[in-house]
Amino acid sequence: MARLLGLLAAASLAAAPASGSKVVVLPAVGIGAPLPGPSVVMKATELVSGSLRRAGFEPPGPKVDPAAQRVDLARGQYFDLKFQPALESAEAALAHYAAHPEDVSDVARLVAAHAYAAMALHQLGKRAEGNAHFEAALTLRPDLKLSDAEYPPTALAAVESLRQPLAARPRGALTVSTAPAFAHLELDGKAVGETPATVEGLTAGAHLVRVSKDGYRTASAWVRVTPAGADLAVTLVERPLERLGDQLHEAMAEGAGTQVVDLAAKLAVEAEADAVVLLAVAPDGDRYVVSAALVDSNRHATRAFTTMAQDLFDAAPALGRLAQALVASTPDGAVPRALPTAPTKPLDFAKHYLGLAPPPPVPAAALPSVPPAPVVVAPAPTPLWKRPWIWVVAGGAVAAGTGTYLLTRPPERKPGLAVTVELPQ
């Protein structure tokens, strides 16, 4: 689902999760005014998800193959020369795969289960039964080549002796159709195109079919192909993850608490997870309030909230504590004492108990009536050029300087003019 940021592992939820099961982390929603930007809500989602991972909640990844351990056990028992236990382990794995084809995560492991069962039967003197397992493996993988590093020479020789007779048998075709059409089709673990499709030249025997399509549950089935052919029609079951995710975001933005819980529980079931984590980011003065809710598939909700600076400098530690508090909080939504909160209550958790709606405005009548404290404003200092005495001093200085200059300067002489005075004798 495009709107889901990731799948994280958490635990079986009654009051609080523990490591071991799955939690879907829904991308955070920005609420309030001004609306937090996309980078803020994405950062909040990433940091909460990262904190859960560091707490031991790993992404679930592909579905775990529950019979894989039995196949590995059969291998160990065979090479320990415990042939009967090896046969029992391999056949237990094959019985599980026969009943639950959806659990076959790797056809190569299924082939290995047939191989270990065949080798154990050969060692127990039941060669015909062992060859039947090798033929089943070759039906799934006609080009099967056993590794000489993994399998004894007797197993390699048995497979090669059966390959030609099996290839000479009559072959059949398999036609697969789905509703809706154009689903991705896999046959024996290999992609073969889209439905409807007909695959020709198949070895007669049991084949594994898997069809998948966006928005629908993957369907798996065993089909026995005969020389006359076989048909398989599959009706895919809708898996409305994206639709549920969109509805959840709308309900969160509206603060529809009960609807949010119902949709989150449905989404957890559809995602095959134990719980959904919801996040909302709202402005609160010069900080953001980050509210989180964890809703499990049984509609149990836990919640917590914290604040972070708008420049996000303290986002990592704040949201790390939020993730820890979310996991540790009680079902009734009590906020742990260890979780720091804003000086003023950012959200009314009695009304908006998921913290996924803007805080209601506080009526004027509810505000405390306290007269404002008198404000003393100091007068601004008068600049020097506006003070009279500065001009008196400046004028006196200029006058004194001018008078001194005029009295002390030498007389002026004009060059080029000579006067001769003759006195009588």
* CATH code where residue 160 lies: 1.25.40
Residues 353 and 247 in one domain: yes
**Mean pLDDT, range 326-336, rounded to an integer:** 48
Q: Which residues contact 354 (CB under 8 A, 6 or more apart)?
A: 252, 255, 257, 260, 261, 278, 280, 291, 293, 301, 303
- Pair 290, 318: CB distance under 8 Å: yes
pLDDT at 336: 35
Residues 245 and 338 in one domain: yes
Residue 69 token pair: 């351990």
**Mean pLDDT, range 130-139, rounded to an integer:** 95
Residue found under tokens 């000479």:
168
In a domain? residue 366: no
pLDDT at 344: 31
Residue after which a domain boundary falls, among 359, 391, 419: 359
pLDDT confidence tier of residue 372, bands split at 50, 70 and 90: very low
Residue 157 pLDDT more than 50? yes
Residue 189 pLDDT more than 70? yes
Residue after which a domain boundary falls, among 313, 339, 359: 359
Residues 40 and 79 in one domain: no
Total domain count for the chain? 3
Residues 351 and 244 in one domain: yes
Residues 50 and 147 in one domain: no
Residue found under tokens 């046969």:
87
Residue found under tokens 């909302």:
280
- What is the SS3 string spanning 205-255? EEEEEEEECCCECCEEEEEEECCCCEEEEEECCECCHHHHHHHHHHHHHHC
Residue 269 pLDDT more than 60? yes
pLDDT confidence tier of residue 405, bands split at 50, 70 and 90: low
Most confident among 29-38, 147-156, 189-198 (mean pLDDT): 189-198
Range of the domain at 35: 6-60+240-359
pLDDT confidence tier of residue 17, bands split at 50, 70 and 90: very low
Question: Strands 184-187, 301-309: parallel, antiparallel or unpaired by DSSP?
Answer: unpaired
Q: Which has the minimum average pLDDT: 201-210, 272-281, 306-315?
A: 272-281
Pick from 274, 209, 213, 265: nearest CA to 238? 213
Residue 233 pLDDT more than 60? yes
Residues 195 and 150 in one domain: no
In a domain? residue 30: yes
- Pair 232, 175: CB distance under 8 Å: yes
Residue 333 pLDDT more than 50? no
For residues 226 and 10, which has the higher predicted lDDT (pLDDT)?
226
217-222: Cβ within 8 A, 24+ apart = 218/102, 219/102, 219/178, 220/101, 220/102, 220/104, 221/101, 222/98, 222/101
Residues 190 and 118 in one domain: no
In a domain? residue 392: no
pLDDT confidence tier of residue 110, bands split at 50, 70 and 90: very high
For residues 341 and 312, which has the higher predicted lDDT (pLDDT)?
312
Q: Which has the minimum average pLDDT: 92-96, 222-226, 275-279, 372-376?
A: 372-376
Work out the widest C-alpha separation in the chain, in whole angstroms.
Answer: 175
Cα-Cα-Cα-Cα dihedral sign, residues 99, 105, 111, 117: negative
Query: Facing residues of 105 across strands?
Result: none
Residue 55 token pair: 């707490």
pLDDT confidence tier of residue 6, bands split at 50, 70 and 90: very low
pLDDT at 159: 94
pLDDT confidence tier of residue 251, bands split at 50, 70 and 90: confident
Residue found under tokens 């600076």:
309
End-to-end CA distance of the chain: 135
Measured CA to CA, the distance from residue 279 to residue 178 in angstroms comes to: 38
Residues 160 and 254 in one domain: no
Residues 247 and 337 in one domain: yes
Measured CA to CA, the distance from residue 106 to residue 278 in angstroms comes to: 34
What digits encode the pLDDT tens for the residues 19-48? Answer: 455 777 777 877 777 888 888 888 888 888
pTM above 0.75, yes or no: no
Indicate the average pLDDT of the chain: 75
Residues 254 and 314 in one domain: yes
pLDDT at 398: 72
**Mean pLDDT, range 194-201, rounded to an integer:** 95
Residue after which a domain boundary falls, among 191, 207, 235: 235
Residue 205 pLDDT more than 90? yes
